[in-house]
Structure 1
Amino acid sequence: MIVLLPPSETKRVGGDGPPLRLESLSFPALHPLRESLLDELVALAADPPASRRALSLSAKQDAEIERNAALRTSPTAPAIRRYTGVLYDALDIETLSAAALSRANARLAVGSALFGLLRADDPVPAYRLSASSKLPGQPTLGARWRPVLEPVLAALATDELVVDLRSGSYAGLGRLPGAVEVDVVAEHADGRRTVVSHFNKAHKGRLARALASSRAEPTDAAGVAAVARRADMRVERSGNALTVVVTA
């Protein structure tokens, strides 16, 4: 089983790994586009106003541009520890036991606007590039990634069940028909259900933690739902679609 996570805008800086070497990353079929995007981001960083426009940054966020300028020389950290934010706080990778962490490293993957797809332990630097970014003179990132990323995702899904927790913009970089998809809804006292927005990420982080650390090896959506229920999550299933129901 592979649990496919979205990345986050916020990332931990620093790291104790050597500078980025693309050949050290998983999914080598993605290297040519990774190389091009790295070159473009480093070059763009030399023009802060253009960087701000392309990356939707304010002048107060120029440190993000400086990180892009140093993409090839700055230290790396495992992808699962590089990303921060609500989902990753709920995943709380730091508190897993050694055995659970080993399972998590094997099962977790992260979608990325810069790297396409990463395994949990792939070493990457801090960077700024979102799925919605559009680099000067280039097509959208979705148009650039889909032709190369979708075959990689399809090959991954031939061998393993994929639980796709990516947000819409990152799912748009590479579609994966047949993956187990997850929505989160809030149930009100009168029975009404509404879509959960901000805390959607927290509940998906809880689910990712349960799936990443479980001794079980789900092979279908029913198995994924069973793991979630053992983690005290309320889950409903319709085919390959799961709905996590939380109290409003």
Structure 2
Amino acid sequence: MIAILSPAKNMREIDWPGKTRRPTFARESAVLLEALRQLMPWELEKLMKVSSSLGEKAHYAFAHMDLSEPGTPAITTYDGLVFKHFDADSLTPKGWEVAEASLRILSGFYGVLRPQDGIMPYRLEMGTKLSVGEHQDLYAFWGQSLHDALYAQTDTIINLASEEYAKTIRRYLVPEEHFIDIEFKIIKAGKMQTITTYAKMARGRMARFIVENPGIEPENLKVFDALGFRYDASHSTNQKMVFIQG
């Protein structure tokens, strides 16, 4: 069983004394980097739908990026809510070992990342319509490769990623592959809703729960109860586990 996460837009600079691993799709990242270096700051601004200052920042980052450098571990470098609530900084050596086996991060730039894969600061969401060679966008560029890389290691994926990233896997599923969506819902004004902030926090907590319970099976995820979320059988199916707060 492997759980997948989306990356975060925000990244942090850290001092990492340990080793990192070379990302599986490093060659593909180099192809993307070359394509991105052809773009001017204003083109990146338009492509990524960001402010001019962020466009300038992205342009500078790509221009000075050296993919031969070791980088810092993906799971500690991403700095969004999911990763804050996963709290990689408090992992034990055993925790790192379990995380390396049971977690993967999907990335528009790096493809699939293991927790200890070394990455550099970048900004490139999977939904970005970057044309690379004959490929009209990143979904076409990555194609089935991310799906194949994951299912070469497991037959069951726990989806803790957003749909922007999850669909890079979902669209290539075959019947014998298990892909279980995890949904976190809030009851508000009598209606069941997904509130992004709480969903991201809960995804991070569940990822940590998986790491703290080595060898856990999907069925046992039902006991997860962080942040007041509880498994709700009435809204769940074999392909979807729903947790409700409130």
Shorter-chain TM-score bucket reads: 0.7 to 0.9
Partner of 1:56: 49
Q: Does 1:10 align with 2:10?
A: yes
* Partner of residue 179, structure 2: 179
1:149 offset after TM fit, Å? Answer: 2.0
Q: Structure 1, residues 97-130: CA drift from partner, whole Å, max 9, x if none?
A: 3332332233221000011101000001011111
Distance 1:108 1:51, change over 3 A: same
1:15-53 deviation line (CA, Å, top 9, x unaligned): 5589x9xx8223xxx444323112112333xx1111211
Q: Are residues 1:90 and 2:77 paired?
A: no
| 2:111–2:142 CA contact under 8 A, matched in 1 | yes
**Alignment match, 2:202:** 203
Instruction: Decide whether aligned partners of structure 1 residues 16 and 230 sit closer, same or farther in structure 2, where only a CA change above 3 A counts.
Output: closer
The two structures have a TM-score, normalised by structure 2, of 0.83
1:189-200 correspondence to structure 2 within 5 Å: 190=190, 192-200=191-199
Counterpart CA distance in 2 for 1:72 and 1:110 is 21
TM-score (norm 1): 0.82
- Residue 157 of structure 2 corresponds to 162
Provide the C-alpha distance between the structure 2 equivalents of 1:130 and 1:17, rounded to a whole number of angstroms: 28
Q: Residue 111 and residue 103 in structure 1: after superposition, are their counterparts in 2 closer, same or farther (change >3 A)?
A: same
Map residues 28-177 of structure 1 onto 2, 5 A cutoff: 30-44=25-39, 47-61=40-54, 62-72=56-66, 76-136=71-131, 138-158=135-155, 161-175=156-170, 177=173
**Paired residue secondary structure (1:69):** helix
Contact 1:182 1:243 in 2 (8 A): yes
2:59 and 2:148 map into 1 onto residues whose CA distance is 31
Aligned partners of 1:229, 1:43: CA distance in 2, in Å?
Answer: 48
Name the amino acid aligned to 1:71. M
**Counterpart-to-counterpart distance in 2, 1:230 and 1:53:** 39
When residues 17 and 117 of structure 1 are mapped into structure 2, their CA distance, relative to the original with a 3 A threshold, is farther
* 1:42–1:70 CA contact under 8 A, matched in 2: no
- Post-superposition offset of 1:232: 6.7
Identity of aligned residues (%): 22
Which ranges of structure 2 fall in alignment gaps of 5 or more residues?
Answer: none
Q: Distance in 2 between matches of 1:231 and 1:157?
A: 29
Query: 1: distance between equivalents of 2:180 and 2:166?
Result: 13
Aligned to 1:234: 230
CA RMSD in angstroms comes to 2.7
Count of residues in Structure 1 that have an aligned counterpart in Structure 2: 233
Structure 1 residues 114 and 145: alpha-carbon distance in aligned structure 2, compared to 1, 3 A threshold: same
Contact map agreement 2:72 2:118 (CA 8 A) in 1: yes
Matches of 1:230 and 1:57, distance apart in 2: 34
Counterpart of 1:180 in 2: which secondary structure?
Answer: strand
Amino acid at match of 2:179: A
